[in-house]
Chain A
Amino acid sequence: MAHIIKILDGFSFIPRKELTVLEALEQQDVVIEYQCREGFCGSCQVNLIDGDVTYTTDPIAFIPSGKILTCCCQPDSDLTIEIPGGCRVKKRRR
């Protein structure tokens, strides 16, 4: 079942279901922080305003309440997220 990811002050899109939230955002050229991409550094956090996620890797990083670690979770329902610093899209190189 396809889930919608809505970025607050941004846009909505439907990610491919095998992607993590981080990969889905990157595919949409959204600017998002990351480092370890396996759940222990905490850089890729975003605020989860609405919805549920399932973690594909057991995260070790400290995740404050209300946030999700995008590098190792996938949507379990429609999501509304807020990216710290706002939603910015990379300019695509032509």
Chain B
Amino acid sequence: MTYTTFNQAQFDAIKEPMFFGQNVNVSRYDIQRYPVFEKLIEKQLSFFWRPEEVDLSTDRRDFVALPEHEKHIFLSNLKYQILLDSVQGRSPNVALLPVVSLPELETWIETWAFSETIHSRSYTHIIRNIVTEPAQVFDDIITNEAITKRARDITRYYDDLIAGVSLYHQFGEGHHTVNGDNVEISISDLKRKLYLTLVSVNVLEAIRFYVSFACSFAFAERSTMEGNAKIIKLIARDEALHLTGTQHMLQLMAEGKDDPEMAEIARELKEQARQIFIDAAEQEKDWADYLFRDGSMIGLNRDILGQYVEYITNQRMAAIGFEPAFAIKQNPLPWMNSWLNSDNVQVAPQEVEVSSYLVGQIDSTVESEDFSNFSL
């Protein structure tokens, strides 16, 4: 079935499944099959922020003062975040909009992807503030082997789904010959690709991002690069909402009331989905090797970050009903939670808790010469 931007068929929008039903026509939010997506949209809109609101002037000084190996940790972490948000700013739209079939979910996808673009803009804001040559940072993302390796794992499920859906919209279901190759196109197959894509997106937002947040906050724990930490707090608040969105989607699929075939597929692919979590955790631990190759920093090293990867992976697996994969039970970075809690985001530098107030600097001795300038 070819995609149409305004489906002229008459159907009851409330009865459509989340994906692979009728193309959405009227964007209406008065009646919804799944009100949770509307709530997510409202929440995300209420979180709207602009990167320029956050003052980064102290970060410039802080960055210059960092030792070389910590500059490497900071910039590599930032490059990885840029990669993740670059992908997330476009892929939910490109991959999911052509197959979504509920207006509230369609709009949530657009709102979600839009908020990721704000994150991308904030990274440019950070880089402009701390390095004189932004191109050096951005260009390295494409040439750096350690980073491009991550990109492959992150994009393959999206790319696979996009390619499959393109063929489906062109040729419909069945056996076809495309550019001399035999291809089998079926909606069931696309549903499988969709399910795995959503699992990998959930892993990206709920694990990969959080591991990068740990690095950002580790700097702030030592009262350096605090402007960056404020931005990361705002980003983390958005990501919590996004991961809730994918958790709901995965759960609705697994339950079966949305689309019984999807429940079958979720059961069939459970092991593969579980493996996506475990593989991502291993990749994140390998990445930690690269981050700390020139030396670790106070509060964070390869081992502790590795433990955090395992801890957060367990949490996220349990949240969607998978058995945890690792033995660790305690959060090795308990200070993360207060950074992640964004209640107290204060963008003005003068309101930051400054630990450098001078103490005991008042000279309270008084001599008679001090009054020499007074006259009555």
Smallest beta-carbon distance A93→chain B, Å = 13
Residues on A with C-beta less than 8 A from B340 are: 35
Residues on A with C-beta less than 8 A from B39 are: 58, 60
How many chain A residues sit at the interface, stated as a range, is 20 to 34
Interface string of A26-47 (1 = CB under 8 A from B): 0000010111110011110100
Residues on B with C-beta less than 8 A from A88 are: 330
B237, B244, B342, B343: which contacts A42 (Cβ < 8 A)?
Answer: B244
**Cβ of B329 and Cβ of A85 under 8 Å apart?**
yes
**Cβ of A43 and Cβ of B244 under 8 Å apart?**
no
B36, B237, B318: which contacts A36 (Cβ < 8 A)?
Answer: B237
A37, A58, A62, A84: which contacts B247 (Cβ < 8 A)?
Answer: A62
- Residue A14 CB within 8 A of the other chain: no
Residues on B with C-beta less than 8 A from A64 are: 251, 319-321
**Cβ of B251 and Cβ of A36 under 8 Å apart?**
no
**Cβ of B329 and Cβ of A35 under 8 Å apart?**
no
Chain A residues touching B, majority SS: loop
Smallest beta-carbon distance B358→chain A, Å = 26
Residues on B with C-beta less than 8 A from A42 are: 240, 243-244, 247, 319
**Cβ of B244 and Cβ of A62 under 8 Å apart?**
yes
Smallest beta-carbon distance A91→chain B, Å = 12
B236, B315, B334: which contacts A31 (Cβ < 8 A)?
Answer: B334
CB-CB contacts below 8 Å: B339-353 with A:
340-343
Residues of chain B whose beta carbon lies under 8 Å from any beta carbon of chain A: 36, 39-40, 43, 236-237, 240-241, 243-244, 247-248, 251, 315, 318-321, 329-331, 334, 337, 340-343
